[in-house]
Structure 1
């Protein structure tokens, strides 16, 4: 997006998070915003249109007369996303390689629900999301972890037949909502649960452990979520290598019926770029106040 000549902002408020703390757009990019607000929501906007986004989008599509395609830039974006090695020096999975492999194996007709946590950007970065309504990020909206499983239960009831619900969660958030796993197993026609299990509260490890604070309270004794899931009636395996995803592939090939829990043992050595950006912005704000 930093290379774009024009960016059309439809309904987004252009918060610091949306704009990657001011680094998302190039200095010469023209920003057009469509919103029901009466005025631009950010000084970065060059042209503002006060309108209902759906009506405006329909009007723009009529102007374009169908002569557009998103595949070229989507393909280019996928090429630029860093994948990382399959496994890291500590013998655990790199979450980027895991996310890439999962995208290739998960059913194409998918609705993704996310908990909050350090892992929360891997699915939006690496997974194909078929429609806007197929990405549900409740944890992000509330700035909280532990809401993923409960949200997945509701989504499982709402998702149309033939679609697979995919829940992405960290181990800390999953433990907070663990009782809802039984509810999800009972509610879902087809569901895959991906647990990014780094045996820690990953966000705290990177934010506070990196500053020298003791990491003991941030660590979680590694939980065998696979064993718990099988006891509750789901199919499940521990994923220690990309080859272990064959069990998930077999389940999907057999019809993807019921619930499959992938207990993925990832490294805590990879820091997500969005967290690095937030940490840098926080330090810059502190320095500005101190100065």
Structure 2
């Protein structure tokens, strides 16, 4: 059933003439936590023509007006003019060691501040190196603008250095709007800039993510701008559900008990979700990315779902059997639900998301009331009409941390490490904590507890190794405060930006789970009963590497030394690596992932017990 709602016109369906004829109100105001430049503050450099203004300088000035504060990238000759304009702008320009790391850093800088960020690269491999990080930006719902250089028209097809044309790279998807970029174009002349400015502003004004690509030929970067760029009417427009929609939700949710399933898309509605839960007595669960949006120490919190999640969620669904589940801002994809049939409520889902294509996709056979709306606005409207509900369910199953047995002087158990991280970093600082893909993800998601939004970050869309290893630098730079990455040794070897953190003296801490193997793969193959695959890697001394780059660090081989190592890292106020030799035999809480693979046809022969959100 289609619900009534107001929404912004999709970007790809708007032409330049429609911009002019319909007088769209365009706003780069992403949310109320950041005050964007108001119309009267637009600088004369952008609003008026200037015979000496180059395309590169005009593009950079546009980005400043759109609220960009940080730019991350790797330079090259093809984008020398653009790099020069960036370097002399009001933006903080961070020069990274690899374009992939720069892109991941830009993603995390966006989420640390809610401001759009920029990634810049030169032509050819600069572009292709950045694509995985930009793919993650799209999947995570970040607001990132990618600036790249490409070959000038007279040199195309002539084997220019790092030629970037249709002769050498597929144009579809990289230089055009599609699955990777919400908006992409090649700037062939200065006359395009007014239209580009409007399209970027419109995209950034929409709730949710927006990833754009502006490819600027080397010769065009130095050409002069002769026409005025537009002044934009900066007003925020958020999708508001109709009164009929809210009334229908109230009617369904008052029929019987219901649960709330919180996703990352609800991160701006934490206060409202807490009020709704306490007003109605509803149980609350969350996706891995949504940890902390609803306090994990709250008696109504029943656990995290999906990868690294909690068995207490399944206990609730089986014993309390809610009539409905109100889904707020999550796609319910495999990392969040494993598409488990046990998560289906008796009467179906009420699924709210800013993206109209999300509700009903993960569970297409289940009755679903789809609602397209901004989550914060929706919950505010629902609270206004929702009566207080007296519930007989006063006690819900909550996630439990198993008692840890006394340790030894051998290797560090991951669960002991997580306990120390919880005490010293989560409870003792305001640091952003992010976990890398692999067992780092499952241990952190399952065992750490957060009571506020914005403190925990994982990637569940792309899940690229190296995301947190490099993203931690972007988060620390953007928030101007401590950021911590919990990573595996495989990811740390694949891609890191320790050298960048040293250059800018960034307070980033890497905690490396060093077990000399890709342990999620190693343990997963064993549990699936598959033998012969090699997941081992040589043991690496990451403290020696860190010191060789100018950072500090400490190696931990005993559980008794964890506290001192973590406290030293905090006191250092600069880049710091804690290299922890962990016990590789401890089974990570990833049962759901292994059973999910089995459900897709991978034969599982080992049924060893694992504690986690299971696929039932």
**Which of 373, 387, 400 is the matching residue for 1:51?**
373
Give the match for residue 214 of structure 1.
Answer: 532
Residue 18 (structure 1) aligns with:
336
In structure 1, the partner of 2:436 is: 115
- Alignment length (residue pairs): 274
Please tell me whether the aligned partners of residues 338 and 592 of structure 2 are also in contact (alpha carbons under 8 angstroms): yes
2:482 aligns with one of 164, 167, 172: 164
The answer to whether the aligner puts 1:81 opposite 2:401 as a matched pair is yes
The answer for the alignment partner of 1:241 in structure 2 is 558
1:133 maps to 2:133: no
- CA apart distance, 1:147: 2.8
Deviation at 1:200, TM superposition (A): 0.3
Is 2:284 aligned against 1:284? no
Q: Would the aligned equivalents of 1:193 and 1:262 in 2 still touch at CA under 8 Å?
A: yes
Query: Which has the larger Rg?
Result: 2
Shift of 1:12: 0.8
The answer on whether the counterparts of 1:86 and 1:93 sit within 8 Å (CA) in structure 2 is: no
Aligned partner of 1:194 in structure 2 is 511
* CA-CA distance at 1:166 after TM superposition: 0.6
Runs of 4+ in 1 over 6 A off after TM superposition: 64-67
Greater displacement, 36-45 / 197-206: 36-45
Matches of 1:149 and 1:109, distance apart in 2:
19
Flag the 1:191–1:285 CA change in 2: closer, same or farther, 3 A: closer
- After superposition, the CA RMSD in angstroms is 3.3
Q: For 1:8, what is the secondary structure of its paired residue?
A: strand
Q: What runs of 5+ residues in structure 2 fail to find an aligned partner?
A: 1-312, 604-616
Given the two structures, how large is their TM-score scaled by the length of structure 1? 0.78
Counterparts of 2:574 and 2:373, CA distance in 1: 43
**Is 1:94 matched with 2:409?**
no
Shift of the 200–87 alpha-carbon distance from structure 1 to 2, 3 Å rule, reads farther
Higher mean displacement: 165-174 or 92-101? 92-101
- Determine helix, strand or coil for the equivalent of 1:18: helix
